[in-house]
Amino acid sequence: MTAARKLEASPNHALAVGDQPHVPFELPPLPYDQAALEPTVSAETLSYHHGKHHKAYIDKTNELAPKAGMQDKSLVEIIKATAGKSDKDSKTLFNNAAQAWNHTFFWHSMKPKGGGKPSGELARAIDKDFGSFEAFAKEFSEAAATQFGSGWAWLVLDGGKLKVMKTGNAETPLAEGKTPLLTLDVWEHAYYLDYQNKRPEYIKVWLEKVANWEFAAQNFAAK
């Protein structure tokens, strides 16, 4: 089942994006052409990020899941089953499965000619929970900029309230029972070819030019 068909079949839009039913998991295609996000995200960056980094997580998950007896579990089920486990094998499987899911969610968190502000129910919820979109953008940008080393910044729904959170390495809101709405990858391979060490500039342009608020609104509506 493709990511798109899985998305249609699931009542939980956010979980369905990136989920696949069982091994062998496949590298899902980008939801746009590799050059579609230029100049914010270059085709060269997407070529390496999607074709090499994301593919490596998929391939490793396919290798490890059967060894753990999880070949019949979905990607999301593997993430939840291995989250928080301290043994080396579980941690390695979690890291790869979570990164496989996180990356697919990230591709959908961007779109050509995106950015700006959300509208409708999501916009009203952001105003209610953050005070204004500008206040949200500041908090989200600070989370992304201050995530030490590799990781992610997220807009999530937690207990009926919108929150910003950041996670290190492969950690994901899925493991904490929160519903992700939008994410920004701040691993260096996500931006270094285009922005070198200027992570704050990457964050600013990402929010202004490619953030996919329609996707976030779909996830929010399916809460």
153 and 74 in one domain? no
Over residues 194-211, the mean pLDDT reads: 98
pLDDT band at 17 (very low <50, low <70, confident <90, very high): confident
* pLDDT exceeds cutoff 60 at 155: yes
* pLDDT exceeds cutoff 80 at 114: yes
Question: Which positions ≥6 away from 5 have C-beta within 8 Å?
Answer: none
DSSP H or E stretch at residue 52? none
Total domains present in the chain: 2
* pLDDT exceeds cutoff 50 at 134: yes
CA 146, distance to chain mean position in Å, is 18
Please report the pLDDT score of residue 222 as a whole number: 87
For residue 193, give the CATH number of its domain: 3.55.40.20
125 and 55 in one domain? no
Is residue 181 within 8 A of residue 203, CB to CB? The reply is no
Residue range 21-72, pLDDT digits in tens: 999 999 999 999 999 999 999 999 999 999 999 999 999 999 999 999 999 9
Structural domain boundaries, residue 65? 3-21+41-108
* pLDDT exceeds cutoff 60 at 5: no
* pLDDT exceeds cutoff 90 at 93: yes
Please report the pLDDT score of residue 4 as a whole number: 33
91 and 134 in one domain? no
Please report the pLDDT score of residue 35 as a whole number: 98
- Angle, vertex CA 214, rays to CA 120 and CA 207, nearest 5: 100
For residue 86, give the CATH number of its domain: 1.10.287
